């Protein structure tokens, strides 16, 4: 099994953190993982994305030309990435900022009102992990506890940040049935 | 850990105490990491130099003073360092130099590329010399090869180049630093640290007498022969019954491996030869497979550079096909599968 | 009979390659005398340049590292950081220090690297055959300024010492001297000694610029060369202390306190 996911949005939305948290969770479950962020001048322009590949065997190319899943946090990302998802794949979109449906009929799309939900818990910046929580629920690629546990490694010692983000993960996770 | 920081941590764990460099994308995480880590260790020295030229000469200074030292840069910066690398070779001084290659020529772009192969393996600067070139293809190899690079460099008293790219530098994969087995190294009896209790000595590359200069060159060549004999590394994947061998290194080799796996699923007998040392080049491995392989597909993220080494290895004994994407384009495994299968059926395998 | 003069201990017994009347040989001798007098031969490291002085390691009986053209400042920086208790000096000509190695020089000085630079200014590229140097005077004829240096084409003779003196506290001491007669030679020796001492006292970067005759490339005899320095060169490059922070009371106290 090898699954690739692209997380995309604009700089400041925590897109890289979303992918990284997912990658750390998968690592905690002893999966083989690669995490590849966009970098340099590319991210300065405002768009950010990263690719996470998880597998139970060696990962050849860390790049995803036709990923199983794509998570988009804003409209431009929807436009630039929706054609990449493989047939039968799933597109997760942040419906707070994206008011249109994907133009493809051969993929499933799941809208999460992540932005509003984040506002609801008092920190708009947590939309990324709300999105990730929902993503984890739907895909079942990693256990939600692994993701919550991973936050401790990522935000070493920053108790408040860990709390806020694990709350966001849980809310996102519970938002899907 | 991210590839760039893996290289930094590996260097520290291999005993590197000095880092000199100048900012350039896509390798900035490495100097940033070193600037912090080197303050944590005793005798750690970090200088952000005024230029690449200055950085490589600081490397020379630290090396001649006996320290384990590293610098890193990306393509244009490595071009600037070439004079210093030539001096390091002429002076027979160790150093580890990391190149996170980007698309070129000129300023090019910051996407991953493999277009500095000629520069790295043919010398790059002036004079008859070689640098050992190691090409990792994963974060784990970044760690292992960086640590080994210091030993190779000290053992032969010659700079070692680590040739990676922005993708390997940015990518995160789990890594262990436990694979390193330090080599037994000769005492550094050439360093310049003041003539205390010994006769004075000097380190130089200027040898005006042509006969002596020639002998110095032959001495270097003997050393390079020894390196060629001892240090070649190459990975072979699914080669046993392969009719087509893909030859690729670094990032391209990862893409190629994905392609080979898919081609195998389609029933095509395809294998992968992945040189890990680009100089010395694993010519014998290539040659060995010429008996059973009918076509070598050289796959590079350049307009075709390593292909020359494959052709030199084969000396016309087998057919070679080239597929490359220069300019920082990252090809997909599917793209390569198409090339492989069209060649496979065209040749009637 | 009483011996009043002998060859400096750390000057190797080999004939020098310098031309008659050249200033390099005088400065080389002064350095070896100082290394002996200050008893620092076992911890002195010289970084000779590319240029006429490239062969200094054949004359100095202490450790030397050859530098690429202009890179002495970078090499010395790293060596001194690795070996902070050694006495390290670069020996550089005007092309080396003020043209190809300007960046290395300025930044090493600005970081206040604790090494000394001996800057030989002879207003010409000696080794390569007398081309125009960054310090060549206006109207001075060289093989690449055959009708004399002129402002619009070549720019002005660059005053490195004055430029470096404007840098902050990293630069501790800069003096310009010459070697055209006994008093000036004595002054040069004193200046180099002070520069070494400043380095050993961990005060900052130190530099001694020596206006040095190059009769061969100036197409003069040695005496004319000395006269030219005295009458022409010192007008553009005035002799004397250009910067000395050890005169600053605080530094004096700090050093004495050790």
| pLDDT(A153) > 60 | yes
- Residue-level pLDDT at A12: 84
CA atoms within 13 A on the CB side of C2: 1
- Residue-level pLDDT at B269: 97
- Interface residues of C toward B, Cβ cutoff 8 Å, are 41-45, 54-55, 57, 60-68, 71, 73-79, 81-83, 86, 103-104, 106-107, 111
| Mutation to test the A interface, candidates B166, B171, B299, most A Cβ within 10 Å | B171
Q: Which tens digits make up the pLDDT trace of B336-345? A: 999 999 999 9
- Residue-level pLDDT at C2: 87
Instruction: Give B176→chain A minimum CA distance, Å.
Output: 13
> Cα dist. C88→B49, B193, C121 in Å?
19, 10, 20
Chain mean pLDDT for chain C: 95
| Cis peptide preceding C188, ω within 30 of 0 | no
- Residue-level pLDDT at B294: 96
- Residue-level pLDDT at A42: 52
B203 contacts chain C (CB < 8 A): yes
- Residue-level pLDDT at A40: 58
- Tell me chain A's radius of gyration from C-alpha atoms: 15
CA-to-CA distance for A129 and A164, rounded, in angstroms? 10
B54 contacts chain C (CB < 8 A): yes
| pLDDT(C249) > 60 | yes
| pLDDT(C258) > 60 | no
A25, A142 contact by CB (below 8 A): yes
- Mean pLDDT value across residues B234-248: 98
Share of chain B above pLDDT 90, in %: 97
- Chain C residues inside the 8 Å CB shell of B50: 103-104, 106-107
> Which helix (H) or strand (E) segment is A173 a member of?
helix A159-175
- Residue-level pLDDT at A38: 83
A115, A124 contact by CB (below 8 A): yes
In this prediction, residue A11 has a pLDDT band, given cuts at 50, 70 and 90, of confident
In SS3 terms, chain B reads as: CEHHHHHHHHHHHCCCCEEEECCCCCCCHHHHHHHHHHHHCCCCEEEECCCHHHHHHHHHHHHHCCCCEEEEECHHHHHHHHHHHHHHHHHCCCEEEEEEEECCCCCCCCCECCCCHHHHHCCCCCCCCCCEEECCCCHHHHHHHHHHHHHHHHHHCCEEEEEEEHHHHHCECCCCCCCCCCCCCCCCCCCCCCCCCCCCCEECCCCCCHHHHHHHHHHHHHHHHHHHHHCCCEEEECCCCCCEEEECCHHHHHHHHHHHHHHHHCCCCEEEEEECEEECCCHHHHHHHCCCCCEEEEEECCCCCCHHHHHHHHCCCCEEEEEECCCCCCCCHHHHHHHHHHHHHHCCC
In this prediction, residue C46 has a pLDDT band, given cuts at 50, 70 and 90, of very high
In this prediction, residue A47 has a pLDDT band, given cuts at 50, 70 and 90, of confident
CA atoms within 13 A on the CB side of C93: 31
- Mean pLDDT value across residues B267-271: 97
- Residue-level pLDDT at C85: 97
C255, C194 contact by CB (below 8 A): no
Instruction: Give A112→chain B minimum CA distance, Å.
Output: 28
| pLDDT(B70) > 60 | yes
C153, C217 contact by CB (below 8 A): no
| pLDDT(C256) > 80 | no
| pLDDT(A111) > 90 | yes
Q: Which tens digits make up the pLDDT trace of A52-71? A: 999 999 998 888 889 999 99
DSSP A1-38: -EEEEEEEEETTS-HHHHHHHHHHHHHHTT-EEEEEE-
C202, C50 contact by CB (below 8 A): no
- Residue-level pLDDT at C22: 95
DSSP classification of residue A143:
-
Q: Minimal Cα distance from C56: which residue of B?
A: B202
In this prediction, residue A41 has a pLDDT band, given cuts at 50, 70 and 90, of low
| pLDDT(B76) > 80 | yes
CB contact under 8 A, B172 and A36: yes
> Which helix (H) or strand (E) segment is C197 a member of?
helix C182-200
The architecture CATH gives domain C24-257: 3-Layer(aba) Sandwich (3.40)
Q: Minimal Cα distance from B255: which residue of A?
A: A61
- Mean pLDDT value across residues C116-129: 96
| pLDDT(A43) > 90 | no
Q: Which two tokens stand for residue A15?
A: 């897109």
- Chain A residues inside the 8 Å CB shell of B26: 39-40
Q: Which tens digits make up the pLDDT trace of C74-94? A: 999 999 999 999 999 999 999
| pLDDT(A46) > 90 | no
In this prediction, residue A44 has a pLDDT band, given cuts at 50, 70 and 90, of low
CA-to-CA distance for C70 and C51, rounded, in angstroms? 10
- Residue-level pLDDT at C253: 72
Q: Which tens digits make up the pLDDT trace of B81-139? A: 999 999 999 999 999 999 999 999 999 999 999 999 999 999 899 999 999 999 999 99
In order of start, what are the domains of chain B with their CATH numbers?
A: 3-230 (3.40.50.970), 234-346 (3.40.50.920)
Chain mean pLDDT for chain A: 92
In order of start, what are the domains of chain A with their CATH numbers?
A: 2-175 (3.40.920.10)
- Mean pLDDT value across residues B189-197: 97
CB contact under 8 A, B173 and A20: no
- Mean pLDDT value across residues C104-108: 98
B343 contacts chain C (CB < 8 A): no
- Residue-level pLDDT at B97: 98
Q: Which tens digits make up the pLDDT trace of C161-172? A: 999 999 999 999
- Mean pLDDT value across residues B288-316: 97
A170, A144 contact by CB (below 8 A): yes
């Amino acid at each position: 099994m090898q699954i690739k996911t692209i997380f995309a949005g604009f700089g400041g939305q925590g897109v890289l953190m979303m992918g990284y948290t997912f990658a750390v969770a998968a690592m905690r479950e002893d999966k083989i993982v690669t995490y590849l962020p966009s970098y340099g001048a590319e991210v300065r322009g405002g768009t950010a994305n990263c690719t996470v590949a998880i597998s139970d065997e060696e990962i050849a190319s860390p790049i995803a030309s036709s990923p199983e899943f794509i998570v988009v946090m804003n409209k431009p990302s929807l436009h630039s990435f929706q054609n990449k998802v493989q047939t039968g794949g799933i597109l997760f979109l942040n419906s707070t900022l994206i008011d249109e449906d994907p133009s493809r009929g051969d993929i499933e799309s799941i809208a999460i009102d992540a932005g509003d939900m984040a506002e609801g818990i008092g920190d708009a910046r947590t939309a990324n992990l709300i999105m990730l929580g929902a993503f984890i629920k739907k895909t079942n690629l990693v256990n939600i506890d692994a993701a919550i546990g991973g936050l401790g490694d990522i935000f070493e010692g920053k108790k408040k940040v860990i709390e806020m983000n694990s709350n966001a993960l849980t809310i996102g996770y519970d938002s899907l049935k | 850990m991210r590839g760039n920081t893996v290289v930094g941590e590996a260097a520290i764990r291999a005993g590197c105490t000095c880092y000199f460099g100048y900012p350039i994308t896509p390798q900035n995480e490495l100097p940033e990491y070193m600037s912090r880590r080197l303050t944590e260790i005793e005798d750690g020295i970090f200088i952000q130099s005024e230029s690449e030229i200055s950085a490589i000469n600081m490397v020379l200074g630290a090396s001649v003073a006996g320290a384990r030292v590293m610098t890193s840069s990306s393509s244009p910066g490595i071009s600037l360092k070439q004079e210093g690398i030539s001096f390091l070779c002429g002076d027979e001084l160790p150093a580890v130099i990391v190149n996170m290659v980007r698309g070129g020529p000129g300023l090019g772009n910051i996407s991953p590329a493999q277009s500095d192969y000629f520069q790295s393996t043919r010398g790059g600067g002036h004079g008859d010399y070689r640098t050992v070139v190691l090409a990792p293809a994963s974060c784990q190899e970044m760690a292992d090869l960086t640590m080994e690079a210091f030993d190779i460099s000290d053992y032969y008293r010659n700079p070692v180049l680590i040739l990676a790219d922005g993708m390997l530098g940015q990518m995160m994969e789990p890594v262990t630093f436990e694979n390193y087995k330090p080599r037994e190294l000769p005492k550094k009896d050439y360093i310049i640290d003041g003539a205390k209790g010994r006769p004075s000595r000097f380190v130089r590359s200027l040898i005006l007498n042509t006969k002596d200069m020639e002998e110095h060159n032959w001495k270097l060549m003997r050393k390079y022969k020894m390196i060629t004999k001892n240090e070649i590394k190459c990975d072979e994947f699914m080669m046993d019954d392969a009719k087509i061998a893909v030859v690729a290194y670094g990032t391209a080799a990862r893409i190629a491996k994905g392609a080979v796996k898919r081609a195998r699923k389609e029933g095509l007998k395809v294998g992968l030869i992945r040189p890990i040392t680009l100089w010395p080049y694993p010519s014998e491995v290539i040659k060995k497979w010429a008996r059973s392989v009918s076509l070598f597909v050289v796959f590079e993220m350049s307009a075709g550079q390593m292909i020359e080494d494959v052709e030199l290895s084969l000396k016309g004994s087998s057919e070679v096909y080239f597929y490359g994407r220069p300019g920082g384009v990252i090809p997909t495994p599917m793209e390569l599968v198409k090339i492989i299968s069209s060649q496979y059926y065209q040749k009637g395998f | 009979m009483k011996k009043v003069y002998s060859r400096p201990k750390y000057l190797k017994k080999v004939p020098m390659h310098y031309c008659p009347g050249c200033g390099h040989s005088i400065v080389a001798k002064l350095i070896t005398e100082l290394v002996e007098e200050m008893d620092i031969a076992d911890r002195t490291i010289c970084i000779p340049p590319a240029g006429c002085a490239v062969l200094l390691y054949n004359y100095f009986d202490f450790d030397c590292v050859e530098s690429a053209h202009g890179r002495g400042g970078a090499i010395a920086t790293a060596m001194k950081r690795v070996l902070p208790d050694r006495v390290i000096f670069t020996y550089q000509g005007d092309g080396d220090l003020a043209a190809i190695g300007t960046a290395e020089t300025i930044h090493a000085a600005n970081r206040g690297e604790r090494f000394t630079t001996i800057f030989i200014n002879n207003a010409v590229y000696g080794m390569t055959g007398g081309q125009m140097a960054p310090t060549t005077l206006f109207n001075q004829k060289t093989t690449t300024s055959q009708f004399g240096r002129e402002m619009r084409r070549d720019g002005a003779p660059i005053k490195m010492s004055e430029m470096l003196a404007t840098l902050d506290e990293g630069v501790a001491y800069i003096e310009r001297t010459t070697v055209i007669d006994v008093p000036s030679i004595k002054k040069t020796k004193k200046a180099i000694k002070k520069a070494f001492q400043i380095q050993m006292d961990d005060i900052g970067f130190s530099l001694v610029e020596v206006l040095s005759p190059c009769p061969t490339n100036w197409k003069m005899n040695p005496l004319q060369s000395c006269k030219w320095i005295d009458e022409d060169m010192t007008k553009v490059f005035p002799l004397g202390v250009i910067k000395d922070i050890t005169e600053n009371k605080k530094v004096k106290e700090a050093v004495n306190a050790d």
